[in-house]
Amino acid sequence: MIRIVPALALCVLLAACTTPQRQGTELPPPPPGGEPAGVAGLAPDQVRVAFGTPAFVRKDGQTEMWRYDNPRCRAFFFFYAEGGSEVVRHVETLPRGATMAADAACLDAMRAPPKVS
């Protein structure tokens, strides 16, 4: 009888491992497609002129991401190699735009003021 109890306990533990678990929180839907006008295809130096120095830069392999912050929103510029140089291929903002991943009003608020000569 003593040997049956450990075997029964082992069976219960194994059964618990194979019991389907409840589904976790579902992922949010992906952002809408499309890129804001006048941003896709910009080189890094053009983005610096338009938006200033990024608050954060991260490089993962061939991809580089620049983040800009202001009190109202955040903008993320994703650079990918194209024809031997890096260019913006995707832009997102938080909060997101209504019809695309980037909110045009956020990007306008991020733009660096023109330099006075």
Residue 104, SS3 per DSSP? helix
49: buried, middle or exposed (CB in 10 Å: 19+, 13-18, 0-12)?
A: middle
Q: What is the pLDDT of residues 94-109, one digit of tens each?
A: 998 878 889 989 999 9
More confidently predicted of 17 and 82: 82
- Report the distance separating Cα 7 and Cα 17, nearest Å: 16
Whether residue 76 contacts residue 91, with contact meaning beta carbons closer than 8 Å, is answered with yes
Q: What is the pLDDT of residues 46-73, one digit of tens each?
A: 999 999 999 999 999 889 999 999 999 9
pTM of the model: 0.68
